Structures are given as C-alpha cells and as structure tokens.
Copies of this chain bind each other. A is one copy, B any other.
Amino acid sequence: MAEIGQKEIARLARVSQATVSRVLNNDPQVNEELRQRVLAVVDALGYVPDARAQSLRAQRTRLLGFVVHRAPTALAHDPFFSALIASIIDQAGRQGYHLCVDAARTVKGQRAIYEELLRTRRVDGLILVESETRDERIARLTAQGFPFVLIGRYEPEDAICTVDNDNIGAARMATEYLLRQGRQRIAYIGGPAGLTVTRDRLHGYRAALESHGIAYDPHLVAFGASSEQGGARAMEELLSLSMRPDAVLAFDDVLAIGAMRQAQRHGLRIPDDVAVVGFNDTPLCSFVEPALTSVAIDIPMLARAATQRLIDLIEGRPVEPRRLIVPARLVPRESA
C-alpha cells in the first residue's frame, strides 16, 4: 500500500511529477490552484516522501551517529549513557534529525563501525564519547573533513569540535565548598589513573587548595577502581594516616559511597567527623545514609550543545568556539 510515489500523485492530480516535488518543497513559482490540487491528493493518500530516495538525491540522511567506544553490555546500567542519548534525541529531533546509536563490540569492531557509518555515508555526522586521548579514528575523521563532535576532552588537536564538562572548575568548586565549611585536611580519591577526567579533577582540587594557601599533600590523594570496594580501600588508606582527613572529595558517587561506608565502619560520623562529596549526582545520592552531596554534571546541556554543534557543522554553519566547557553545579545534601 505504501508503494505510492510522486509519480502516482502526479497522475491523480494531472500534473507532472516535478510539480508535485515543487509543491512539496514550497517552490514559490507554482500556481496556487495547482498547489491546492496537488496537496489535496497528497493529503488524501497520506503521501510522505521516501526518506531513502531523499537521502540518495540530497546526499544526506538526516541521521546523526552516536558511537560509544565500549562494548554495549558495558554501558547497560550507565546512567550517563541514557541521559546523554535522551537529550541528544531531543535536540536532534527538533531539527528534523534522527539518532543512530552504535557501540563497538570488540576492539576490531571499532574499525568496522567507523567504516560502516562513515564510508557508507549512512550518517551525516558523528558524536563520539569516551574517546581515547590518542585516537586514530579522530585523525582520519579530521582528514576526511567528516563532521563530528567529541564529548569529553581531547588534547592532541585543537581544531576539532569538543564539548566537555568543566571538570577542573567543578572539582575546584567542590573543594572550595569544603574549605568554606572550615575543613582543614581535604583528601581526594581519584578514579582510574590515566584518564584525563581523573587528572582534571585532581587539578581543580589542587588549585583550590593552593589558592587558599594550603599546601598540596600527596599523602591525601588516593586512587581506586570505580566501585564501592575501591572507595573503601582508598578510604582505609587515608584513615591510616597519622592525621586523618576531615573531608573527602571523590571522583564519583560510587567511590564516595564506598569511602563513606568505610569511615562509618571506623565509627566516624558523616559529616561531623568526615565530610564526603561525590561526583555525577547519580540517583544513588538520595538513597544512601546520609544523603550524598555531589557535583552534578549538566548532561542535558552537554548533549544539546554537542548535537547543535554537530548539526551546525553538517549544515555548514560556523561553529565558534571549537571547544565548549559546560559548567557543573554542586548539589548539597547531608554528607557535607
């Protein structure tokens, strides 16, 4: 039943197929009477142009690609992921674009996805997240002039379009918040070492301390895998210091909760003895005892900015500035 095309419409309206196309594309130079006649038929048949044909003809699909450089199953319960996708869909939808989500199942698969989406011209542009610092694909995309935007920091190139959370500023803000509360020995628990995010937040933490005339003490910095155990172990390490910290800034909420629990096991009260601040403001925060103060990343803003930039890029509009930093905000709860 859906095998109706402009040709059929044209036949029924007794005009040429070109006229049908003109009417549908609001070409001003078409007689009003004809326009109505055509629209009547279009309406009656519920005709809608075939996106596949339009894609071929116009050389663009109105499809954005969202690629996660991670196995699909690994992001199953990642709250970041769904929030990001939701906002991208929203923003893209407003401008008539759709979203094609892909993930690399294997390391080899990354290359395949790159080929599949880019070379086949299946999508008009790409939004990449969780890119490695040195990512060969980024170089190739740049070389090919293929539109893409990166969410998260990327250092080597400066000309590429990037949207990132203000990790330095956020960590600094959180640290200063603790300082204002009179905390003296503030510790930092970092996530996976080597990630730019980990380093950035450490920078912010350090900057806040130093601008308040407090010397940076490496003993007060611990690292742990992003899990409750990781947080607990890191906290254990910090508590064994001769002078234990009176506040902890953690790389993410799960680490923070692990740390909090470990402190509680030692009989310490939160926030009285030790204040704890997490990162990401996940739903978990409200459910732990005491509720966790956390830094909220503005994911919708991140997603919207990235999407808008990508569409601008695709449609040839200038994108300025190339790198955008989105501010985060602190969500105060009971733990600090």
Contacts and interface: CB of A to CB of B under 8 A. Distances in A.
A82 interface: yes
A314 B156 CA distance: 44
Would you call the interface of chain A mostly helix, strand, loop, or mixed? helix
Contacts of A283: 77, 284
A6 B250 CA distance: 55
Contact of A120 (B50, B72, B90): B50
Interface string A253-292: 0000100000000000000000000000011101111000
Contact of A87 (B50, B73, B85, B115): B73
Given A82-B81, A86-B73, A90-B73, A52 B56 contact: yes
Interface in A79-131: 79, 81-83, 85-87, 89-90, 93-94, 98-103, 105, 109, 115-117, 119-122
Count chain B CB atoms within 10 A of each CB in A49, A71, A77 and give the residue with the most. Answer: A77
Given A48-B120, A287-B287, A105 B93 contact: yes
B86 A52 contact: no
Number of chain A interface residues as a range: 35 or more
Contact of A63 (B78, B100, B144): B100
- Cβ-closest 10 pairs across A and B: A51-B120, A82-B82, A48-B119, A72-B90, A72-B86, A51-B122, A76-B83, A52-B55, A52-B56, A81-B82
Given A77-B79, A93-B105, 12 more contacts: A48-B119, A53-B56, A55-B56, A74-B86, A76-B87, A76-B300, A85-B101, A86-B103, A89-B101, A90-B103, A94-B105, A257-B287
8 contacts: A2-B144, A51-B122, A52-B121, A77-B82, A82-B82, A89-B103, A90-B105, A287-B288
Interface of A: 1-2, 46, 48-53, 55-56, 59, 61, 63, 71-79, 81-83, 85-87, 89-90, 93-94, 98-103, 105, 109, 115-117, 119-122, 144, 228, 257, 282-284, 286-289, 299-300
